[in-house]
Structure 1
Amino acid sequence: MTTQTAARACGIDFGTSNSTVGWLHPGHDTLLSLEDGKITLPSVVFFNYEEDHSRFGRAALAEYMDGYDGRLMRSLKSLLGSSLIDGQTEVQGKALPFRYLLKLFIQELKLRAEAGAGRAFEQVVLGRPVQFVDDNPQADRLAEDTLADIARQVGFKDISFQLEPIAAAFDYEAGVDKEELALIVDIGGGTSDFTLIRLSPERRARDERRDDILATGGVHIGGTDFDRQLSLHGVMPLFGFKTRLRNNAEMPSSQYFNLATWHTINFAYTRKAWADLQDVHRDAAEPNKLDRLFQLIQQRAGHRLAMDVEAAKIALSDRDRHALALDYIERGLHCELGRGDFETSIAPLLDRVGATVGRLLSDAGLQAGAIDTVFFTGGSSGVPALRDGIRALLPNARHVEGNLFGSIGCGLAIEAKKRYG
């Protein structure tokens, strides 16, 4: 698409793990620099108690890892559509609504985008998953309305939405030289989203594309779910998960699920959670493992462990085994993680992803052989077992990898230019 003047509006991809902002302006890259010359801003806030300030993105993670006393909040997007959205959390003795935390991050994203662009933005196209919440249209609508309300609060006047896989399709289409029937596979931190769409150099000039979109689908499964399964099955047994009490009952699992899920890690640090653990410790058949869990919680090292698990997941995309060092919990403690075990742990999730793709083909009335291209985007789309599953479903389609963290932001910028000039 040819642009002679800078667009009035930007496109924001507020992601579970990372966020980007796209803006079409001639002679410049579409994605704006958001932190230290990088196009992504990790969707993280850290409240530093010692220095009484808040940090965002990589700076937030760095201060947390440097050991400052404070509160780390990550995976904020996962709050949208959940029962937690109307709740609050304690930060330095104050109760902060989760809606406020979302506003804080979106506001920072807007400010950084405007600093990078050298101008203010009042119009925006926001990306959204095909489904914020599976099989619950009312909750899904509430999630979108919540995000729109927050966008208004931070200063946007004209707000619209585009499905994230459709935005990724528009980014891919900018480089095609012939007509293709493409399956867009967007595997983000919180959701897996898909679009079947006809793309071509001629079609991309059209403002109205509804006839080109054959089907969309999504499921609330993403990279953070892969992290959770790897943590629960590969790491948490070292801390007592699935061990027994003296009466042969299984150790209560809620603490482990909280620690393995990004947006609930802080729940493991409450007084009630600590009291419950102390009660169960007396009856633990393997108290040494509970001692490790106590150490993990006393150090408030849940986010550090989750980051280590996430790094292990990424490493297992390239190699068969990964050694996870846990010396900060206990000297010499480590965990050997294998790709095969990881793939076994996420197999039920991948089955649901595959079923969603199958329904997409059925909804469009297409056979697998009709798909020319599978376009992958999203930071979690590189998991080999996931790609193998898609390949098995669509054996004749060629695979193309886009900018895993930038395709959606670029596509939203294209849409913003079309909608707002």
Structure 2
Amino acid sequence: MTDTSSSPTAADFCAIDFGTSNSAIGIACAQQGMRLVPLEDGRLTMPTAVYYFAEGKHDAEGPPRAFGRAALQAYVAGHSGRLMRSMKSILGSELYEHSTDVGSGRGVRYADMLTGYLKQLKRRAEAVHGAPLTRAVLGRPVFFVDDDPVRDATAQQQLEDAARAAGFSELAFQFEPIAAAFDYERQVSAEQYVLVADIGGGTSDFSVVRVGPQRREQLQRREDILASHGVHIAGTDFDRHIELAAVLPALGYKALGPSGREVPSKIYFDLATWHLINTCYNPQRVLELRNMKSFYADVRQHARLMTLLSEQLGHELAQQAEDAKIASAQSAAEVPISLDLIESGLEVLLRPQQTEQALGADIARIATAAQECVRMAGLAPEQIGALYCTGGSTGLPALVQALHAPFPQARLVQGDAFASVAAGLALHAKRVFA
């Protein structure tokens, strides 16, 4: 295959799927139009993660750092520093302009983290493309922030600001589920309505889109987008509920004190929320929690909590909860979760009924949002020709079943869990910029 990088007139545009859990980028290719860039070890996606090392020399962009899988590996290897994930969830919040400690008294602005990650994607794509990339289509969820148009607009502006700081001079945005519809459209032979469900780490987004072979090359597709809807509930929420339900009770969540009152719960909610975990290690906060030993009837639970905080094991514990969620979703059996990192021999069980109870309400809300999207489109359920699922969380059978149940006649299509949106954004980028 010969891509456009072999020409002095190589295209200067790309498409970026900046995801809560994983990201991807597409560039122009002479023979195939657009293609996704291998970002790490030949893989087309890279975890949306940055690891800041507590030791080493600063450069012009901040403390020494690693990105993607290298960031996760640095964390697992036990290097001194901070792992940052779920950065997309910061958009639209006040945290965007704030700084956080990444070790050894070093502070990094959240805005700079986003810019640095986007800059890394850009560099890796340019290395493959062989030419600068100055224009981009960026995907965005239907709602960055539920029921708050002002904060939602702020979130898009913040993402635009970060992209411009990363070196892009011209930008366009496209809804992520609509991009997925573009990817699906390549498969259809007749006009139909498709309900796109894009359920990733941070948001569950839906769109009803009219697709067909006669519409593929049209640049203006606004009239084909019948409705878009979404909720800010997805994979990271599932992980949090699993951790609270099955893991953190061993460390005192919902435990009772000698007086019969429940111990303070805020620390546990923060430990179960990726972008808040680092705030739990603040020395003053750790000292306050250490002095709460008398609040616990079972002092072993307090000791486990203090071990987690002193060893800074919050992200590792969250990862174990996510792994258990996946295992539980794919099996009707109990899933053991080893907590040896907290206490030798400590183990908890994630039971199927716990998974159902922990995720049931969120799955129901997501399924309701899908049905509402179809109603907003003015269609009856039987008019939906296909349910197209993409995003990492669509690997949960219970979720897919709940989405499909109201549309039994619809063809169920599972797209690439991590690359469908990026592929569709790349198609759109070609139409916008070429």
Partner of 1:328, secondary structure, is coil
Q: Indicate whether 1:13 and 2:26 are aligned.
A: no
Within a 5 Å distance, the mapping from 1:390-405 to structure 2 comes to: 390-405=403-418
Which residue of the other structure, out of 346, 350, 359, is the alignment partner of 1:346? Answer: 359
Q: Indicate whether 1:364 and 2:377 are aligned.
A: yes
Residue deviations 1:325-377, cap 9 Å, x none? 12111111112112331121111111211221122122111111111100000
Q: Indicate whether 1:328 and 2:333 are aligned.
A: no
AA aligned to 2:28 is L
The answer for the alignment partner of 1:41 in structure 2 is 46
Cα distance in 2 between the residues matched to 1:400 and 1:361:
17
Deviation at 1:258, TM superposition (A): 0.9
Cα distance in 1 between the residues matched to 2:39 and 2:46:
6
The answer for the alignment partner of 1:104 in structure 2 is 116
AA aligned to 2:378 is G
Cα distance in 2 between the residues matched to 1:362 and 1:38:
38
TM-score (norm. length: structure 2) = 0.93
Q: CA separation of 1:123/1:229 partners in 2, compared to 1, >3 Å: closer, same or farther?
A: same
> Contact 1:11/1:124 (CA < 8 Å) preserved in 2?
yes
Which residue of the other structure, out of 256, 264, 274, is the alignment partner of 1:262? Answer: 274
Cα distance in 1 between the residues matched to 2:149 and 2:350:
38
Residue deviations 1:195-227, cap 9 Å, x none? 101111111121111111110001001100000
Which residue of the other structure, out of 300, 314, 319, is the alignment partner of 2:326? Answer: 314
Q: Indicate whether 1:355 and 2:368 are aligned.
A: yes
The answer for the alignment partner of 1:199 in structure 2 is 211
AA aligned to 1:20 is A
AA aligned to 2:112 is Y
Q: Indicate whether 1:64 and 2:100 are aligned.
A: no
Cα distance in 1 between the residues matched to 2:356 and 2:25:
33
Deviation at 1:292, TM superposition (A): 0.7
Runs of at least 5 residues in structure 2 that lack an aligned partner in the other structure? 58-63
> Contact 1:81/1:139 (CA < 8 Å) preserved in 2?
yes
Partner of 2:248, secondary structure, is helix
Partner of 1:183, secondary structure, is strand
Cα distance in 2 between the residues matched to 1:411 and 1:8:
18
AA aligned to 1:82 is S
Residue deviations 1:112-145, cap 9 Å, x none? 1111222211110000000000010000000000
Aligned length: 419
AA aligned to 1:101 is M
Cα distance in 2 between the residues matched to 1:247 and 1:358:
47
Deviation at 1:267, TM superposition (A): 0.9
Worse overlay, 91-100 or 379-388: 91-100
Worse overlay, 341-350 or 14-23: 341-350
> Contact 2:263/2:295 (CA < 8 Å) preserved in 1?
no
The answer for the alignment partner of 2:288 in structure 1 is 276
AA aligned to 2:21 is S
> Contact 2:12/2:132 (CA < 8 Å) preserved in 1?
no
Partner of 1:282, secondary structure, is helix
The answer for the alignment partner of 2:153 in structure 1 is 141
Deviation at 1:19, TM superposition (A): 0.4
Among all aligned residue pairs of Structure 1 and Structure 2, give the percentage whose two residues are the same amino acid: 43
Deviation at 1:7, TM superposition (A): 4.7
Cα distance in 2 between the residues matched to 1:61 and 1:130:
29
The answer for the alignment partner of 1:209 in structure 2 is 221
Residue deviations 1:100-121, cap 9 Å, x none? 1111111111111111222211
> Contact 1:6/1:25 (CA < 8 Å) preserved in 2?
no
The answer for the alignment partner of 1:85 in structure 2 is 96
Cα distance in 1 between the residues matched to 2:369 and 2:394:
15
Deviation at 1:287, TM superposition (A): 1.0
Worse overlay, 29-38 or 71-80: 29-38
Q: CA separation of 1:333/1:27 partners in 2, compared to 1, >3 Å: closer, same or farther?
A: farther
Partner of 2:289, secondary structure, is helix
Residue deviations 1:128-163, cap 9 Å, x none? 000000010000000000111111111101101000
Q: Indicate whether 1:31 and 2:32 are aligned.
A: no
Residue deviations 1:19-48, cap 9 Å, x none? 000123134671101111111111111112
AA aligned to 1:374 is L
Q: Indicate whether 1:411 and 2:421 are aligned.
A: no
> Contact 1:43/1:74 (CA < 8 Å) preserved in 2?
yes
Runs of at least 5 residues in structure 1 that lack an aligned partner in the other structure? none
Worse overlay, 57-66 or 329-338: 329-338
AA aligned to 1:56 is F
> Contact 1:8/1:417 (CA < 8 Å) preserved in 2?
no
Deviation at 1:51, TM superposition (A): 4.4
